[in-house]
Structure 1
Amino acid sequence: MARPLRVEYPGAFYHVINRGNAGEDVFKSLRDREKFLEYLETACSRFSIRIHTYCLMTNHYHLLVETPEANLSRAIQWINVSYAVYFNIKRHRRGHLFQGRFKSLLVDADEYLKHLSRYIHLNPVRAKMVESASQYPWSSYPFFIGKLKMPPWLCGDWLLSQFGKNLREARKNYQAFVEAVNPWTLEDPGKSPVGGFILGGVDFVNWIKETFLSSEQANKEKPQLTALKPGIDIGDIISLAGDEFGVGPEQILAKGKKRNIARDVAIYLSRKLTCLSGKDLGQHFGNISGAAIAMRYKAVGKQIHKNKKLKNRIKTMEGQIINN
């Protein structure tokens, strides 16, 4: 099995998830949860990481982590190993506590952090552990809404600054942001990361590609690199879209025709999988503007959420392009 690809750099943000081995509970007592939070606090000072949001469930945990020193793997490994040793000694057990390597998504903080934070804070509600996120004591939510005093190691300033100029206003607006949505229909913002590990807009994804992945060598250990390395031929995307929807390349490249799904999908995949700017892509699709490219990309994104069949077709096409 391929190991999850990680890109680490100073100032990166991550959504970290780790689950108990074989679905086993990793928090069985109040003291377990307290101990894990103690390890989080120590890790913040020892590795200079910043925790922006957390939620301890029963058989897994969520963290939103910032790494000023590009050391996510070292920090999370230390937390996991330290807690597993405590857990095993306390219960006279042996073996792995967590399943394999932890999962991490590289996050475009400006675009996704507040939405991820809301999704994480509503986890206990979706799990029917509480009726309201404010009732759950093992997440950072009570601190964000002022129910409890923010501990020094928890970084609430950045997120709250997105919701108001003063603390009181920010807390009120953040609470409304979290509690005004239906937790049962709220979609996971990290559901479809690019390459399996990047959650961000096109500019962010392309920056990651060009800055950290362009010189990497694709191999069997890291198949995600194939999806992210610059150099995917836009002609291949257009050809595949034509085959999939039964049209010629001239129809895909022709602008002005309404309900041209083959063209829209080709634009969507080209923007998602290549490093070309919106302006450059526009030249390939009949000299349209970068704004028009962005508009078609967003339109297809909305269709995907509503149309499962189309979503599966695009996912299959993406796999063919990546593995070509």
Structure 2
Amino acid sequence: MEKRSYLHIVSRYIHVNPARTKREGKLPLSEKKKYLRNYPWNSLLGYVDDIRRNGTIDYARIFESYGGDNTEGRRLYWETICKDISTGIDIKEEVTGGSILGSETFIKWVRDRFLPAKSREIPAVQRLKKYTTKEAIIAALCKETKKSFDEIKKERGIIRQMAMDLFYRVGGLNGTEIGKMMGVDYSTVSQGRKRLRERLKDDKYLSQMIQRVEAALSTINRLSENCFEHQILYYILTNCVNIRPYIVYV
């Protein structure tokens, strides 16, 4: 996880999660706030009340994004938490390959620094090799649909939704990255993928089309040595690599 851009967002996601369970999710907003202010099983209490802090937690890291570790910073953090309770907070579309948060530069740095060639034969690292380049996906999709990628991007229907889904599910790209490629925002990517899933329940022809694209991709450099972004954080965590201050575990 890239500290500067994402740490404070992940922190909020973790702190809001207890209010999103099946039972607590049905509570009124005021009750959800009260529930979180008294929830003892994560670190939120120390962020909103300095008297209730745990000496092993570095609170200042998060407060860097809220004006500092002071009364105003704590107030702003709690206000943001309350907003997240009301409007929701979801980081799934920002996660590359299901496990890593960061810019392309950061991903490359992590790969080059902590995943030397020798370690790539470790079983845990084999899972990183599922990543398929976006260029290969574009080529396979254009061949199947007999359309150019520019034509696919301009469409508002099922073909564009299929492209978004393949980039996310097969290519390991996050919602923001896909949005930039397709000329839309990340929420459109999420909605498009959701509509596609609903359509696939009843459309066998569409399912077969996607299967053909995936079959074609399986023969195009699936195991590229340059594609280790996919689930790289899993490798780092399981091998206990300390890469602070660039990567921080919350």
TM-score computed with the length of structure 1 as normaliser: 0.46
| 1:142 counterpart letter in structure 2 | L
**d(CA) in 1 for partners of 2:215 and 2:93?**
17
- 1:120 corresponds, among 1, 11, 14, to 14
Name the counterpart of 2:180.
Answer: 295
Q: Larger radius of gyration, structure 1 or 2?
A: 1
Contact 1:119 1:186 in 2 (8 A): no
**d(CA) in 2 for partners of 1:193 and 1:151?**
29
Name the counterpart of 1:197.
Answer: 99
CA distance 1:319–1:148, change in 2 (3 Å): farther
Name the counterpart of 1:46.
Answer: none
Q: Which has the higher contact order (CA 8 A, sep 6+)?
A: 2
SS at match of 2:11: helix
SS at match of 2:65: coil
Root mean square deviation, CA, Å: 4.3
Name the counterpart of 2:137.
Answer: 237
Contact 1:190 1:199 in 2 (8 A): no
Residue 44 of structure 2 corresponds to residue 150 of structure 1: no
Contact 1:237 1:321 in 2 (8 A): yes
- 2:4 corresponds, among 103, 110, 127, to 110
Q: Which runs of 5 or more structure 1 residues have no equivalent in the other structure?
A: 1-106, 276-291
| 1:259 counterpart letter in structure 2 | E
- 1:178 corresponds, among 51, 75, 81, to 81
Contact 1:213 1:225 in 2 (8 A): no
Q: Identity across aligned pairs (percent)?
A: 21
Q: How much does 1:186 deviate? A: 2.3
Name the counterpart of 1:160.
Answer: 63
- 1:206 corresponds, among 100, 103, 108, to 108
| 1:247 counterpart letter in structure 2 | K
CA distance 1:297–1:187, change in 2 (3 Å): farther
**d(CA) in 2 for partners of 1:274 and 1:123?**
25
Name the counterpart of 1:131.
Answer: 32
**d(CA) in 2 for partners of 1:320 and 1:192?**
27
**d(CA) in 2 for partners of 1:189 and 1:318?**
26
SS at match of 2:53: coil
Residues 111-136 of structure 1, C-alpha deviations (whole Å, 9 max, x = no match):
22212211211222223466321121
Contact 2:92 2:98 in 1 (8 A): no
Q: How much does 1:254 deviate? A: 7.3
Q: Which runs of 5 or more structure 2 residues have no equivalent in the other structure?
A: 25-30, 201-206, 223-250
Contact 1:195 1:224 in 2 (8 A): no
Report the number of matched residues.
191
Q: How much does 1:263 deviate? A: 11
User: Equivalences for 1:1-324 in 2 at 5 Å?
Assistant: 107-127=1-21, 128=23, 131-132=32-33, 133-146=36-49, 148-165=51-68, 167-182=70-85, 186-190=88-92, 193-213=95-115, 215=117, 216-217=119-120, 222-227=125-130, 235-244=135-144, 246-248=145-147, 251-252=148-149, 258-259=154-155, 265=163, 269=167, 273=171, 295-296=180-181, 299=184, 301-307=186-192, 308-310=194-196, 321=217, 324=222
Q: How much does 1:162 deviate? A: 0.9
Q: How much does 1:181 deviate? A: 2.4
| 2:155 counterpart letter in structure 1 | R
CA distance 1:165–1:309, change in 2 (3 Å): same
CA distance 1:259–1:218, change in 2 (3 Å): farther
Q: How much does 1:253 deviate? A: 5.6
**d(CA) in 1 for partners of 2:163 and 2:186?**
10
**d(CA) in 2 for partners of 1:195 and 1:148?**
39
CA distance 1:118–1:318, change in 2 (3 Å): farther
TM-score computed with the length of structure 2 as normaliser: 0.57
Q: How much does 1:176 deviate? A: 0.5
SS at match of 1:148: helix
Contact 2:98 2:172 in 1 (8 A): no
CA distance 1:136–1:193, change in 2 (3 Å): same
CA distance 1:322–1:149, change in 2 (3 Å): farther
Q: How much does 1:165 deviate? A: 4.1
Q: How much does 1:160 deviate? A: 1.0
Name the counterpart of 2:239.
Answer: none
SS at match of 1:131: helix
Structure ranking higher in strand proportion: 1
